[in-house]
Amino acid sequence: MSLLKQLFIAICLFLVVAFTGSFITGMESSREQLLSQLRSHAQDAATALGLSLTPHVDDPAMIELMVSSIFDSGYYATIRVVNIADNSVIVERRTTTAPENVPTWFVNLVDLTPEGGDALIMRGWEQAARVEVLSHPQFALTKLWDSAVGSLTWLLGCGLVSAVLGGWLLRTQLRPLDNMVQQAQAITRREFLTLPKVPRTPELKRVVLAMNLMVEKLKNLFAEEAARSEKLREEAYQDSLTGLANRRLFDLKLTHQLDLSEQNTDGYLMFLRVNDLGGLNQRLGGQKTDSLIQAIGQQLTQVMQQHESSAWLASRSRGGEFTLLAPGLSGEDADKLAQQLSEQLLNLRQTGASDCDPVAHMGIAAYRPGESPATVIGRADQALAQAQSKTPEQPWERLDDFNQATGQGIHQWRTWIDEALTGNKIQLYFQPVTHCDDISRLMHHKVLARLLDAQGEAIPAGRFIPWIDRLGWAARFDLVMLEHSLTHLQQHPTPLALSLSAATLREPESWAKLLEVLKQHPEQAALMTLELDERHLPPAAELMALGQQIRSSGYQLGLQHFGGRFSLIGNLTHLGLAYLKVDGSYIRAIDQEGDKRLFIEAIFRATNSIDLPLIAEMVETEGELDVLKELGIEGAMGRLIGPPSPWQEERG
């Protein structure tokens, strides 16, 4: 029982005891007073009647007349005149009437007995007779009943008002305790909230201030760990001059994109090289040359921002050499992108550069998952070498030495994907996520999708997801996946994790539809975690609102592919995440590369301070798993743990 209820019940019991005692005391006092009045009233009547009957002591008719006249007033239960000589009754009048409007139980409870008085009738100096009078208590009972009802009504009214006011006062005074409970619960959800309103009660004020101090201390510790980890990431994976990724991170991402993963797709790799960087440095000076390199870096950054729905990566390898990794880019769009960049580079022409030569040349090479990094880089180098002989109007070359996966155009893709989504030609695949220390202990299954073509063949997501993005159907695809996953949960109640696209987060209508579907299935809430991609997160305030809406529906929220934007970790304290999945490019060969281990260790220190579990993506070797165990990482997923497969095959 809560403290508020205990105090409220204690106050109510105290009021009941106090009012009951007051009521009983008042009733007993009134009873004694009425008994005294009845006694006095009877004695006065007997004395007056005795004096009045003295002149008529020998006239029985007159005695009876006078006794009847007094008795008929109704205040007396019995009046009789007794002859003293022989103790015979001369006159007697008696009534058996009961009080009106007074319950019998009250009459029995009060037990207000008739009180009597007597007086002598004299014949000269001789005692002739005795008058005996008993007062009837009916009027006293009626008065006592009315007084009791009035007193009880007043006491009940006062008690009710006191209980209401006392309950309101207790709730008001104890509200800081509820706020502190919410604050403590928020800490368990990895949210650090401070209470802005400090109560006036000294005892509660000290507790609230202590809680706020503890929360601020935890936030500061987390911020310090996050700042150290971010600095480490910048030193390890970021170019200091342009702010782009460095060659090390480019190698990681390229290897990751060439992996035969369920979600990897074909794309293009662009090499951009500034012409005659040494000559520019001599003619323009180091400062202007650095400004040129920074300007090119800004252009590439803008290109990535225009394609925020994909896993693009721009990097600076060394000197005036830049790379752009563009998964999901088609050949036609690659030419458009090269044309756009060449036009923008014309505006960066510096004093002393040749007016007829372009600032830079670009080599564009296609790649597909399964190729080796050396093959793709060699193809891009060849394209760059051929581009140097191109005209200034088109300073780029694109090489495709293999056919595209399907050879279909956008119209064919539109028709096929639309039929697959509307005709339920979608098949769920499940990839296990387990604990690192015991891979037999399941944490959840990651839900993936494959679309079925006309022949019933399952097409991997890496082939159709880029076309879904181009068609603007990403939010529609998310909704179909969510409905299929919830249907699966009804049949197989096992924890699942489902990714959401950036389009669903950006489009209010799509987000509203998704929330509506979630609210229609509250029974599956405990088994479903919705994952957001670190690369597509909205602004902090909007992200916090989205997270609150997800948690209010009962579902959990997770973050996947984490590592590229480590500065976001400072906002994680307000999201109440269920877990954090580290991008697989930082896990690959972690047992062989010490810088990756240091980076993951920094992430673990930061997230461990708020008790946020870490899950490693794309774990492929026993050596990688051993390092993750040593670092204390909670979970793992990848080909070592288990590949994606249909539910029936997985259980079979």
What pLDDT does residue 352 have?
40
Percent of the chain whose pLDDT exceeds 70: 91
Residues 6+ apart with CB under 8 A from 205: 198, 199
User: In 3-state terms, what secondary structure has residue 52?
Assistant: helix
Q: Does domain 247-399 have CATH number 3.10.20.70?
A: no
Span 372-377, average pLDDT: 89
Q: Do domains 247-399 and 424-651 have the same CATH topology?
A: no
CA–CA gap between residue 529 and residue 576 (Å, rounded): 12
Longest dimension (CA), the chain: 162
Give the per-residue pLDDT at 567.
59
- CATH code of the domain made up of 424-651: 3.20.20.450
CA distance 382 to 230: 36
Q: Indicate the pTM of the whole model.
A: 0.60
What does the domain layout of the chain look like in residue ranges? 3-160, 247-399, 424-651
133: nearest Cα among 48, 8, 46: 46
- Using a pLDDT cut of 90, give the percent of the chain over it: 18
pLDDT tens sequence across 123-140 = 778 778 888 888 877 777
Which tokens go with 465? 């997801």
Chain centroid to CA 425: how far? 35
- Round to whole Å and give the CA distance between 98 and 115: 16
Least Cα distance to 402 among 214, 267, 600 occurs for 267
Query: What element of type H or E holds 499?
Result: strand 496-499
The residue with greater pLDDT, 402 or 598, is 598
Reference 290, options 325, 254, 255, 240; nearest CA is: 240
Among 640, 639, 2, which residue's Cα sits nearest to residue 262? 639
Could you read off the pLDDT of 47-94 as tens digits, one per residue? 888 788 788 777 788 888 888 877 777 677 788 888 887 888 888 888
Write down the pLDDT at residue 369. 86
C-alpha separations of 15 from 2, 125, 145, 147, 499 in Å: 20, 63, 23, 20, 59
Taking domain 3-160, whether its CATH number is 3.50.50.60 is answered by no
Which pLDDT score is estimated for 350? Answer: 45
What does the block give as tokens for 551? Answer: 């948690």
Highest-pLDDT range among 106-115, 256-265, 528-537, 624-633: 624-633
How many other CB atoms are found less than 10 A from the CB of residue 52? 17
- pLDDT of 351 > 60? The answer is no
Angstrom distance (rounded) from CA 311 to CA 149: 82
In what side-by-side order are the strands of the sheet with 321-327?
Answer: 313-318, 321-327, 267-274, 360-367, 396-399
Count CB neighbours of 333 within 10 A.
14
Q: How far apart are the first and last CA of the chain?
A: 49
Q: What is the pLDDT of residue 88?
A: 82
| β-pair type (426-435, 442-452) | antiparallel
Burial class (CB in 10 A: 0-12, 13-18, 19+), 142: middle
